[in-house]
Amino acid sequence: MWPAYERPPVDLPAPPQKPLAIDRQWWKAFGDATLDAMVDEALANSWELAKAAAAIEEARAAAAGARSLLLPRLDGVAKATSSRRQFTLGAIGKEFDSVTSTGVLGLAANWEVDLWDRIGQMNDAALARFSASEHARDAVTLSVSALVVDTWFQLRALDFKLALTRESAASQKKAADLEYRRWKADIGTELTYSQTVAEYAATEARIPTLEGAVAQTELALKLLLGRSPRTLADAVPRGSLLRIPEVPREVDSLLLLRRPDVSSAELLLAAAHADVNSARAEFYPRLTLSLLAGFVASTSNAIAGMPMFWEAGAGLAGPIFDGGLVQSKVDAAEARRQKALAHYQYTISLAFRDTYQALVQLDTSDREVGAVEEQVAMRRRAVTLAEKSYDAGRSSKFEVLSEQVRLLNAQLALIDAKFSQFSARSQYYKAVGGGF
């Protein structure tokens, strides 16, 4: 008798001719077994997922409670009373004083007949919230896996930057030692030696910062993995070199509507719709059936033994004047429905924004990597030419060191660009729902 829930119209772009398919274990596309194991560990131990699982159990219990209202309720009844009567018969002047004890043992059944589907709508709302909690858990699963993947990428990028900086510092240290010997042998100059030491010191100063970043990123990763405090100081194993997976460059509207947070928001909207129907049903009278049956025992002479008794009844009650209570419940439920509708539409917009941002990042990161790779190649060529010029006596050692520092900076920029390239793919998988 109440209007059924219908998905609200949303202005979406047309889906592609061939629907997109995303593997739910999308992180395996990067080809790193260590990363795969870490994601599995995080999904098994994540505190966020533990909270989401508890929320599911809470919603499951609420759904079971709403479903129970559709069934009759049966209660055990036990009652004992005692009464005393004192009176005097005026005609004969005799006084009477009697105590009567009575005990009742039986069953009481009560059932509200759901004439207007009030309880049915409450049950539908509870079931929708239960399903929404499951999708919310899927959203947490996607968020945790993406966060582990991005943190792993960041850790690997810092590892490469630290190793490259240490290698460059070691090379510059050898050059500084050589220039010191040349200076003392009156072959070189103190100026060249000082310039070499300055470049070495500048490179060496980067190492503690990178080491601190590696340690902090490792701790962040261990927390995501749900490691115990006792193991937080243990080293994180490193995996193999990652590969760049190919990802679609299209937007599938139907795929985004299945994104866990979007699905959860729609189910909450459906629950709010059922709440409005349930609130409106309170304008109508409720029919309640009751039955009381059992045995009674008494010290009264009027009752012999333990006779069985029963009492059946039906009641119909509806609001006549409640000071606007029911209408206020309807208004509040309708306001919650409008809030849920706004949240649903906003979540859809977020899904498309995330997807478009990921597509832009895919394109820009790929082009950035190409440009920086070309820059690194030219810097390597410049270092080679500077070394040849130095060997021929046409340039100073400082010019060689300057080119080596420029090469180091370009190589560090390439690591950052490749990190963005990997992160763009992770964000794309997360944006399109991670296969849920």
Q: Give the domain CATH number at 383.
A: 1.20.1600.10
Tens-place pLDDT, residues 269-313? 999 999 999 999 999 999 999 999 998 887 766 566 677 888 999
Residue type, 322: D
| Average pLDDT value for residue range 221-236 | 73
Percent of the chain with pLDDT over 70: 92
Instruction: At 31, list the tokens.
Output: 């080809």
39 in a domain, yes or no?
A: yes
Give the 3-state secondary structure of residue 123.
helix
Examine residue 390 and state whether it is found in any structural domain, yes or no: yes
| pTM score | 0.83
- Phi then psi for residue 341, to 5 deg, are -65, -45
- Residue 57 in any domain: the answer is yes
Q: Which residue has the tokens 């006779």?
A: 307
- What's the domain count of the chain? 1
Q: Is the model's pLDDT at 233 over the cut of 70?
A: no
If one counts every other C-beta atom within 10 angstroms of the C-beta of residue 379, the result is 19
User: Which residue type, as a one-letter code, is found at position 178?
Assistant: L
Q: How confident is the model at residue 178 (pLDDT cuts 50, 70, 90)?
A: confident
- Residue 87 β-bridge partners: 96
Comparing 343 with 91, which gets the higher pLDDT? 343
Lowest mean pLDDT among 83-87, 174-178, 339-343, 400-404: 83-87
232 occurs within a structural domain: yes
Q: Is residue 370 part of a domain?
A: yes
Query: Is 387 a member of any domain?
Result: yes
Give me the sign of the Cα torsion angle 219, 223, 228, 234.
negative
Look at residue 392 and tell me if it is in a domain.
yes
- Residue % of the chain over a pLDDT of 90: 60
The answer to whether the beta carbons of residues 319 and 282 sit under 8 Å apart is yes
Q: Is the pLDDT of residue 13 over 80?
A: yes
Which residue segment(s) compose the domain that 407 sits in? 26-70+114-283+319-431
Could you read off the pLDDT of 130-166 as tens digits, one per residue? 999 999 999 999 999 999 999 999 999 999 999 999 9
In this structure, what are the phi and psi dihedrals at residue 266, rounded to the nearest 5 degrees? -70, -40
- Residue at 89 is within a domain: no
Q: Nearest CA to 359 among 203, 242, 248?
A: 248
